[in-house]
């Protein structure tokens, strides 16, 4: 950097602090002075590990800090190393300082690193760590897989309701609640110790499965139509679960608690992919039983609306009626 220049280096807190862009690295190595708020800032520690000297200014208000930086930049090249909190108010304060000068120094915003897609998932994991750690939330800290199970069911149904509403914002929010359940269960398992797992285990198993069951994308598979993909998926899954009897049992792996309608759809889908035809008599009995279940469910919901009374709202819905939950 040349003299009479102020560089403001901003970085993503979700990217390793030592991984700077070429422009940012050039700015910090060519500056006469590097300033930061505190010595324990990750970027400061990374640069000091690289034998660069960083001066710290402490907890200074944005207007005072801006004036200090602009005054220094009047005679030398200065780089401010952005803080983890983003230094709220500093850029506006610097603009105000520069505007009052007849010959202000050049001011440059230097992007040191960018968030990658999915970067905010790291924030979810960090928030859960804070909630479950000592000094966090006592309710979250005492939860188990068993106590959380009802919330996973409830949040899944709220996702389905949001899909039906056609409201993208509502769907995004409800999917976030399901994501919370995934991260929550992973953290509970991690806290279990040697017999547990963590969120990276969950993600790793998912990626492995996606790669394994999509050879037409990640390997030399030749499926080109949705029908071929489904057939290949069924074959691969059967190979994976051969020891458990998957190929012989159409109900293999279907949870006993899955609603009958969904369980029936899953079994019929498996039969279709395997080239099997359902027995007409058994299919008729299934359809009759499903109608009975739907009728009983409608009666139960009507009774629930009667129990809730006016508090149930004009539509009589029950969404959001659950007890205290993590979301």
* Residue scoring higher pLDDT (323 or 232): 232
List the beta strands (DSSP E) in 114-224. none
Q: pLDDT of 272-325, one tens digit each? A: 878 888 888 988 988 898 889 889 889 998 998 888 887 555 444 444 444 446
Q: How far apart are CA 51 and CA 147, in angstroms?
A: 51
Tokens representing 133 are 């750690």
**The CATH number of domain 117-197, selected from 1.25.60.10, 3.60.15.10, 3.30.830.10, 1.10.287.1080:** 1.10.287.1080
Structure confidence at residue 193 as a pLDDT band (50, 70, 90): confident
Is residue 244 scored above 80 in pLDDT? no
Spatial neighbors of 255 by CB under 8 A, at least 6 apart, are: 263
Task: State whether CATH 3.40.1010.10 applies to domain 5-111.
Answer: yes
Is residue 268 scored above 60 in pLDDT? yes
Structure confidence at residue 236 as a pLDDT band (50, 70, 90): confident
Is residue 202 scored above 80 in pLDDT? yes
Percent of the chain with pLDDT over 90: 62
pLDDT for position 315 = 47
Q: pLDDT of 20-34, one tens digit each? A: 999 999 999 999 999
Written as one string, the DSSP assignment of 231-293 is HHHHHHHHHHTGGGTTTT-TTTT--TTS-HHHHHHHHHHHHHHTT----HHHHHHHHHHHHHH
Q: How far apart are CA 245 and CA 80, in angstroms?
A: 63
User: Taking the domains of the chain in order of start, what are their residue ranges?
Assistant: 5-111, 117-197, 213-280
């Amino acid at each position: 950097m040349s003299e009479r220049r102020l560089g403001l280096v901003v970085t993503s807190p979700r990217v390793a602090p030592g991984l700077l862009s070429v422009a940012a690295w050039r700015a910090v190595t060519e500056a006469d002075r590097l300033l930061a708020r505190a010595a324990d800032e990750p970027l400061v520690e990374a640069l000091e590990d690289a034998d660069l000297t960083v001066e710290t200014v402490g907890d200074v208000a944005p207007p005072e800090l801006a004036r200090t930086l602009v005054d220094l930049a009047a005679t030398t090249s200065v780089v401010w190393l952005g803080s983890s909190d983003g230094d709220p108010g500093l850029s506006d304060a610097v603009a105000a300082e520069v505007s009052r000068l007849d010959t202000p120094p050049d001011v440059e915003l230097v992007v040191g690193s960018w968030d990658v897609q999915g970067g905010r998932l790291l924030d979810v994991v960090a928030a859960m760590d804070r909630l479950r750690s000592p000094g966090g939330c006592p309710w979250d800290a005492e939860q188990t897989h068993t106590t959380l199970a009802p919330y996973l069911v409830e949040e899944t149904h709220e996702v389905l309701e949001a899909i039906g509403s056609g409201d993208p914002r509502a769907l995004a929010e409800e999917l976030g609640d399901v994501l919370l359940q995934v991260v929550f269960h992973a953290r509970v398992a991690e806290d279990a110790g040697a017999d547990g797992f963590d969120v990276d285990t969950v993600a790793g198993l998912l990626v492995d499965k996606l790669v394994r069951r999509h050879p037409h994308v990640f390997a030399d598979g030749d499926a080109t139509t949705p029908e071929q993909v489904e057939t290949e998926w069924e074959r691969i899954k059967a190979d994976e679960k051969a020891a458990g009897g998957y190929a012989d049992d159409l109900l293999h792996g279907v949870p006993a608690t899955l609603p009958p309608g969904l369980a029936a759809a899953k079994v019929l889908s498996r039969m279709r992919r395997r080239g099997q035809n359902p027995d007409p008599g058994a299919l008729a009995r299934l359809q009759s039983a499903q109608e009975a279940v739907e009728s009983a469910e409608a009666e139960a919901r009507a009774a629930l609306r009667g129990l809730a009374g006016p508090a149930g709202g004009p539509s009589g819905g029950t969404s959001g009626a659950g007890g205290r939950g993590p979301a």
